[in-house]
Amino acid sequence: MDDPIKEIVGAWFVAVGTIIAAIGSTPLKSLNSEIRKDLSICGNVLQATGNGLEADGQQEVSLEFIGHGIQSIGNITVLTGLTIDFEDETQKKLVIAGNWVQALGGVTAIGEEIEDSSNIDESYNIVGNLLQATGNSLQAIGGVDELKASRDKMEGIFEGNEEDGQLIVITGSWVQAVGSVVSLIGQIKEEGQEIEEKKLQGT
C-alpha cells in the first residue's frame, strides 16, 4: 500500500526546491553570485529530499519509484558539482550530467502515469513530469553551451556566448519549476482521492 502523505510531502519539497533553484539560476540585481549559488544548493537539497520521499512513498518497485530514485541521484550529482571544490569545468560537467539524469528520471516516471492515464489526476502528473524533463534537458543543453563558450574564451576563440547558454539554463529552470507545481497539484488530487477511497472502504 502506497503512503499518500509521504508522496504529497515529497511533491511539496520538490516544488519548493525547483522554485528556489530557479530563482538561484536567474541573474537578479538584488542577488549576488554567492547568494544565487546558495539558493541553487538549497533548492537541489529540497528536490533530492522530495524525490526520495516520493520514491519511499511507493511501497513496491514501479516505474514511478525508479523515476523518483533516478531524479534524486540527479539532484545529488548537481549538488556535488555545486559544493565540492573541483576545477570549474568539472563542476559544470557534473551539473550538466545531473540535469540529464533528472530528465531521465522524469521520463521514467511518466511511464507509470501513462498506464493509468484514464484518471484525469494522472494527466496532471504526465504533463508535470514532461515539463520537468523538458526543463532539465534545457538546463543540460544550456550548460553544454556555457561550457563550450567558456572553453572557446580560454582558447582565444570568441564565437560562443556564455549568455546564450545561461538564458537556456534560466528558461529550463523555470519550465522545471512550473512542471513541479503541476505535478504537485496532480499528486494532491490523486492521493486525496485515494485517502477518500480508503475511508469509504473502512466504513
Query: Structural domain boundaries of the chain?
Result: 4-202
Q: Quick one: which of 51, 46, 57 has its CA closest to 73?
A: 51
Asked if 95 contacts 143 with a C-beta cutoff of 8 angstroms, the reply is yes
How do residues 48-97 score in pLDDT, each as one tens digit? Answer: 999 999 999 887 888 989 999 999 999 999 999 999 988 889 999 999 99
- By CB atoms closer than 10 A (0-12, 13-18, 19+), residue 46 is buried
How do residues 46-61 score in pLDDT, each as one tens digit? Answer: 999 999 999 998 878 8
Letter string b/e over residues 108-133, b meaning 16 or more CB atoms within 10 A of that residue's CB: bbbebbeeeeeeebbebbbbbbbbbb
What band does 20 get if pLDDT is binned at 50, 70 and 90?
Answer: very high
Query: What is d(CA 10, CA 4) in angstroms, rounded to the nearest whole number?
Result: 10
Q: Given the C-alpha cell 540529464, which residue does it identify?
A: 100
Q: How big is the chain, counted in residues?
A: 203
Q: What is the per-residue pLDDT for 150?
A: 82
